[in-house]
Structure 1
Amino acid sequence: MAQTTAVKKAWRTLIWLVVLFAVLVGTIAGGVIWSTATWAPKLALDLQGGTQIILTPVTEQGQTVTSDQLTQAVSIIRQRVDASGVSEAEVTTQGSSNVVVSIPGTPDDATLNRIESSAKLEFRPVLLASVASSVAAGSPTPTVDPNLSTTPTAQPTNASDLAWVTPALQAEYDNFDCASTQADNAGLAPAAEPLVTCDSNGVKYLLGPVEIEGANISDATAGVATTQNGSSTGQWVVDLTFDSTGTQQFSDVTTRLYGLTGVQNQFAVVLDGKVITAPSTNSVITDGRAQISGSFTQTSAQSLADQLKFGALPIAFTVQSKDAISATLGSTQLLSGLIAGAIGLLLVIIYSLIQYRLLGLVTIASLVIAAALTYLLVTLMSWRIDFRLSLAGVAGLIVAIGITADSFIVYFERIRDELREGKALTSSVQSGWKRALRTITASDTVNFLAAAVLYVLAVGNVRGFAFTLGLTTIVDILVVILFTHPLMTLLAELPFFRDGHKLSGLDPRALGAVYRGRAQFRAPSETVSAAKKGSSSREVQKRQTIAERKAAELAGTSAKAGTTDSKPSTDEGKNS
């Protein structure tokens, strides 16, 4: 009855494995037919090539870019690229100012927007606002009389003070053209001075100095706005959370603006010199939580939230060039890596067949299942999360061959240990599995934790290695549970393996136990000569643990003490 239950359970487990494969294949097939999926994994920059974007700082006259600013910019841009789901991208510096971003394949518009946008966020109070008049294309840009005064008539007391509006600034505001080059460069205005700019709807603004920097945002998320009753408005918004400095600043600003009227009650959120929203201040916000609303879609809201979440760039950038680049390594190196993996796989197969005879075919079948499952998972992730396979990732897959083979060896040796103790094969498979599973789980857990730590701490190609190593470790557990153990349960019912054929790899005589009949064993002393017994006993002793040897010695001593009419042979004395 126990055997029947084990066999039924084995078949059910194998069916679940078939279902898993069917789901993966069906999902990818659906993606190929109705989406952008392919049957092959995407390759990384080193194997396929991609797009290279060179960003150049945009600075005011006399301003220089420091190394700290450049390092911070590289870090923020790398976080943006990672947030977009692009893997195996490279972000480096070129010279003393440029930032080079290399992305595998052809990036989509959303990814390019994340990279190319400076996301220089500022919060400025509104001084003046009006609908900008349309200017015919090709019309000359109005000029401002250089003789007008640029000095405030009185020292401004805060950023909302209208004393900032000098005659020269008023004239600039009146003549400002939202479609001019001047409007495009509005993001270069000094933070401590007023700014004339526009929003996407053609509203023209004169804004006071910056009161809160985007760097004081600790988190930003996109979502659908809700009313006080919890019902959805259907409008996409970006929720901001300020750090301690930003919370205090925002509290002070909203306290002041709440007491003002007209446009001075508004607070403009400026991104790269353009107003994205200028909401009125309806209350004093002291908890550091604000919300940006506007004409957002889900995509644009999420893109803005990602940009703001990873910080504003310390300097503005412009795209100097955007070119397609070839693979840094190419198909030759990929082929070399695959050949190395094939050689390693062949050595594992040869070892398995020599050590375990036809039982080694289970290892081969398990490796094939593991390879197929890994391939489908990598292909699926290439489609869904834009995972790309680099040469370092291929190395992680090759290392996994040894990890997977090690699990099979542990399991097989546990079964053979059970057979040496005189158990039948069917019971040896089940009891050996319980012992092996603990060892395999512990080993794979350590491997996975190492891969996870490496993935978190590393950047670039090293993360690709860590990712594939962690993935194949999970696959190893799945294959051993869903395929190897059920298959061994079924093979244990076949006479070839059950009766211990010499080529099965489970021959009890070769393992130090003597087979007597169907699933029954007896001690060597009952059937072999003294000379053969000595040889067999020494072989058994070599395979015994210290505890087992002590137990055998104690049993031998007790047997001698109880014998009075016979003298043990020389060989038996040596082996006791």
Structure 2
Amino acid sequence: MAAPKKGRRSPGAQGHPGRALAGILVALVALTGAMFVSGDTTPRLGIDLAGGTSITLTAHNPPGQPNAINPTNMNTAVNIINRRVNGLGVTESEVQTQGSDNIVVNIPKGTNSDQAAKQVGTTARLYFRTVVTEAAGAPTPSPSSSPSTSPSGKATGKPSSGKGTTPSPSATTQGRAVTDALKNPGAGGKPATPSAPATPPTTPGTSSLASVPPAVQKQFAELDCTKPAQRSQAGANATATDTTVGCSQDGKAKYILGPSQVDGKDVTSAKAVFDTQQGSGWTVSLGFNSHGANRFTDVTSQLAKQQPPNNQFAIVLDNQVVSSPSVSQPITGGQAEIYGSFTQQSAEDLANVLSYGALPLSFSISDRTTVSPQLGGEQLQGGLIAGAVGLALVVLYLLAYYRGLSFVAVVSLIVSAVLTYTIMALLGRAIGFALNLPAVCGAIVAIGITADSFIVYFERIRDELRHGRSLAPSVQRAWPRARRTILVSDFVSFLAAAVLFIVSVGKVQGFAFTLGLTTLLDVVVVYLFTKPLMTLLARRKFYAQGHPWSGLNPKSLGVQAPLRRGRRPARPEAKEA
């Protein structure tokens, strides 16, 4: 008889179940510890369970576009606003149209609603305009081009300070084309199809007060940027090719601005960066496409030849001047950075708005209300009661039918529940996952999926016992057949959850995400906990000898004793009558 090959396990081999159990217990302890260390001991709740803020935005036609409010532009605005809200780290938010000209944004509790309200309706129209002149924000008798009135002409390039410091060209360091306000790292721009402007841009640096229309000069003289109402309306009706007026964001400076030289649509990327090398604090890094990079190079080359304030470049966001740095050298390469008195939050806010593009319409906040979680709380309570009743029925069924084996199933369900809870709590901070009512329903449905995996395995073990095998080999021989069935079933459930997550929107995605997560955890628990635990229990006398309460009693399973090999008994001869 040939000797068995080395390295191949027999069907009755037990493996190392203790290692698998130790591994999943270590994972449980690590996840629980991370949950308490991070302070996220409860899952983040969605707006239907925790309440939040509901913001209604009303659309307005841009100047010169009376028919801009249409379904196409409204849907585009919804997509942009949705990305902006998610950029704040918010998920489970709802962004949808209401009627023909309204968009409703529902943001869960725990988010800075003021910050969200400021960003969701911002049109983010970004222009790079030349500065004709600037002055203090209060009304002036007549405009002046004297650089001594420049509140933002400091050599450090900080936003408007109102001190009227004259810029010094000598303060510009080598390789920095704009005095502490823009710099050129020299990276290439991302190629894109250039879009020709409606009219040829005015040559920068040649504007003077003589070329400014009298109406604009009068508007500039009467403009009071210290008043928020006037500051928000300054230059609101101007197009990209108009000479207009503008205010700094803090209202301490006002400007006469020439036509736009570079459109914000040519910005391909924007991100907040902390400058550790120059010690300038938080900055916003901008990247231009090929068309914007070429225009930016041409404009800065012309501005570098001018005298203050005509060498300044105003970065105008939604009709307000974010920064007005002076140019001393051409900026090439399609990359620049906006410097100023940015905090981390303000830099991230600006980068977030610019990253997701400009809205095709202008919006105003027409309503802002606080959503109460009372209705959702009542529904959650009802859902949890239903889930508890369903779980109790499953446990009772397991106890009545599987008896001792129900211990394995119940402990496995507890392990799966702990893993699901800790992961959901940690995902709230990691990806902004919020638990809503449909997500709770997905978790309840997962109870049946997990219990079904245990039942499949138990029935395979019983089938092996009915063939006359002992428990330990039955546990090992039943596993490959049960494993295939469990994997196929879980794959179908996960595929359905993935498709539902992709094609659905809003709260339904919460259901799909939870269902997919719990399906994956079912595979992990069955592999690393249920099967190893069953292997260890098979060595216990209570289960191995088929105790009546073990759920593996040979009599209740109808197990027949195996036949012994030997001579068959002779048939009795028939007797004569």
Distance across 1 between alignment mates of 2:486 and 2:115: 41
TM-score under structure 1 length normalisation: 0.74
Distance across 1 between alignment mates of 2:491 and 2:118: 36
CA contact (8 A) 1:50 1:103 kept: yes
State whether structure 2 residue 255 is matched by structure 1 residue 205.
yes
Unpaired runs of at least 5, structure 1: 136-140, 146-154, 516-521, 531-565, 568-576
TM-aligned CA distance change 1:253 to 1:406, over 3 Å: farther
Map of 1:478 onto structure 2: 524
TM-aligned CA distance change 1:481 to 1:284, over 3 Å: farther
**Alpha-carbon deviation of 1:108?**
1.4
State whether structure 2 residue 207 is matched by structure 1 residue 162.
yes
**Alpha-carbon deviation of 1:325?**
2.2
Map of 2:269 onto structure 1: 219
More contact order relative to length (CA 8 Å, sep ≥ 6)? 2
What fraction of aligned residue pairs are identical, expressed as a percent?
44
How far does the alpha carbon of each residue in 1:262-292 deviate from its partner, in whole angstroms, 9 at most, with x for none? 4444433222222223345566666544433
TM-aligned CA distance change 1:480 to 1:249, over 3 Å: farther
State whether structure 2 residue 233 is matched by structure 1 residue 185.
yes
Distance across 2 between alignment mates of 1:187 and 1:13: 68
CA contact (8 A) 2:471 2:544 kept: yes
**Alpha-carbon deviation of 1:120?**
1.5
Map of 2:18 onto structure 1: 11
Distance across 1 between alignment mates of 2:405 and 2:132: 84
CA contact (8 A) 2:450 2:522 kept: yes
Map of 2:73 onto structure 1: 69
Of 500-509 and 202-211, more deviation after overlay is shown by 500-509
Q: Which amino acid aligns with 2:239?
A: P
Map of 2:452 onto structure 1: 406
Distance across 2 between alignment mates of 1:263 and 1:45: 50
**Alpha-carbon deviation of 1:385?**
4.6
State whether structure 2 residue 36 is matched by structure 1 residue 29.
yes
How far does the alpha carbon of each residue in 1:231-274 deviate from its partner, in whole angstroms, 9 at most, with x for none? 57563222333456545554554565566564444433222222
User: Within 5 A, what are the aligned runs for 1:522-541?
Assistant: 522=562, 524=563
Unpaired runs of at least 5, structure 2: 1-8, 144-199, 572-577
How far does the alpha carbon of each residue in 1:389-412 deviate from its partner, in whole angstroms, 9 at most, with x for none? 222111211221222123223333
User: Within 5 A, what are the aligned runs for 1:224-303?
Assistant: 224-225=274-275, 233=279, 235-243=281-289, 246-247=292-293, 249-250=295-296, 253-254=299-300, 257=303, 262-280=308-326, 288-303=334-349
CA contact (8 A) 1:194 1:209 kept: yes
Q: Which amino acid aligns with 1:207?
A: L
Report how many aligned residue pairs link the two structures. Answer: 499
**Alpha-carbon deviation of 1:491?**
0.7
User: Within 5 A, what are the aligned runs for 1:365-404?
Assistant: 365-382=411-428, 385-404=431-450
CA contact (8 A) 1:219 1:241 kept: yes
Distance across 1 between alignment mates of 2:216 and 2:336: 30
Map of 1:428 onto structure 2: 474
Distance across 2 between alignment mates of 1:485 and 1:205: 74
User: Could you say what secondary structure the match of 2:510 adopts?
Assistant: helix
How far does the alpha carbon of each residue in 1:135-172 deviate from its partner, in whole angstroms, 9 at most, with x for none? 4xxxxx56889xxxxxxxxx984465416523433343
**Alpha-carbon deviation of 1:504?**
2.8
TM-aligned CA distance change 1:437 to 1:142, over 3 Å: same
**Alpha-carbon deviation of 1:79?**
1.4
TM-aligned CA distance change 1:116 to 1:185, over 3 Å: farther
Distance across 1 between alignment mates of 2:281 and 2:300: 23
What's the Cα RMSD here? 3.9
User: Within 5 A, what are the aligned runs for 1:305-384?
Assistant: 305-327=351-373, 329-382=375-428
**Alpha-carbon deviation of 1:451?**
2.9
Distance across 1 between alignment mates of 2:479 and 2:311: 73
Distance across 1 between alignment mates of 2:398 and 2:329: 74
Map of 1:556 onto structure 2: none
Of 356-365 and 466-475, more deviation after overlay is shown by 356-365
State whether structure 2 residue 109 is matched by structure 1 residue 105.
yes
CA contact (8 A) 2:202 2:261 kept: no
CA contact (8 A) 1:122 1:214 kept: yes
Of 328-337 and 267-276, more deviation after overlay is shown by 328-337
Distance across 2 between alignment mates of 1:245 and 1:512: 82
TM-aligned CA distance change 1:265 to 1:423, over 3 Å: farther
**Alpha-carbon deviation of 1:329?**
4.0
Map of 1:491 onto structure 2: 537
Distance across 2 between alignment mates of 1:442 and 1:266: 66
TM-score under structure 2 length normalisation: 0.74
How far does the alpha carbon of each residue in 1:84-142 deviate from its partner, in whole angstroms, 9 at most, with x for none? 22222222233332322122225315742553550523222323244525x4xxxxx56
Map of 1:20 onto structure 2: 27
Which structure: greater helix fraction? 1
Map of 2:151 onto structure 1: none
User: Could you say what secondary structure the match of 1:208 adopts?
Assistant: strand
State whether structure 2 residue 100 is matched by structure 1 residue 96.
yes
CA contact (8 A) 1:118 1:315 kept: no
State whether structure 2 residue 241 is matched by structure 1 residue 195.
no
TM-aligned CA distance change 1:156 to 1:275, over 3 Å: closer
How far does the alpha carbon of each residue in 1:428-483 deviate from its partner, in whole angstroms, 9 at most, with x for none? 33454455445544543454344344334422101111221122123223322332
How far does the alpha carbon of each residue in 1:498-525 deviate from its partner, in whole angstroms, 9 at most, with x for none? 123344333456667645xxxxxx4x47
